[in-house]
């Protein structure tokens, strides 16, 4: 999708995109820099938890988000051993990665933070772009 078209969709739907749920009692929102493009094309969308979370809340967000994606038949293709514990998640690797049933979208769920303040991010990638990137073709 051309980035300008994605920005227009974001602009026209900004109120509904400020409170997105990936599981009960989770709240995510688009931010100004949510749309990522390369050469004028949208390649990923990054959505973050709406508010700062405690460690316990971040753990809950991770568990509920995973359950949500699996409930809509996204396949978990990667999960770190300690995927539900933000403190033990290796920062240089994705926490959890899913693929939609039609193999059009790759979704990653990652916690970020330290001390007592965390956020959980959900990133959507175009499946074909993701594969090309993984193979070093992008």
| Helix, strand, coil share (%) of the chain residues, nearest 5 | 30, 40, 35
CATH architecture classification, 3-134 = 3-Layer(aba) Sandwich (3.40)
| Domain residue ranges of the chain, discontinuous segments joined by + | 3-134
Contact 33, 121 (CB under 8 A): no
* Over residues 51-69, mean pLDDT: 95
Q: What is the pLDDT of residue 120?
A: 96
Q: What is the mean pLDDT of the chain?
A: 91
Q: pLDDT at residue 38 above 90?
A: no
The pLDDT score that the predictor gives to residue 45 is 93
Q: What's the predicted TM-score (pTM) here?
A: 0.89
pLDDT attached to residue 8 = 87
Average pLDDT score over residue span 100-126: 94
Diameter over CA atoms, the chain: 40
Q: Quick one: pLDDT band at residue 3, thresholds 50, 70, 90?
A: confident
């Amino acid at each position: 999708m051309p980035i300008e078209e994605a920005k227009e969709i974001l602009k026209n739907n900004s109120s509904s995109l400020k409170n997105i749920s990936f599981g009960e009692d989770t709240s995510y929102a688009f931010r100004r820099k949510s749309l990522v493009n390369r050469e004028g094309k949208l390649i990923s969308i990054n959505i973050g938890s709406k508010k700062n979370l405690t460690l316990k809340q971040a753990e809950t967000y991770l568990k509920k988000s995973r359950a949500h994606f699996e409930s809509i038949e996204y396949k978990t293709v990667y999960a770190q051993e300690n995927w539900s514990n933000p403190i033990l998640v290796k920062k240089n690797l994705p926490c959890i990665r899913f693929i939609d049933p039609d193999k059009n979208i790759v979704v990653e769920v990652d916690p970020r933070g330290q001390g007592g303040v965390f956020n959980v991010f959900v990133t959507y990638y175009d499946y074909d772009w993701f594969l090309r990137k993984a193979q070093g073709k992008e």
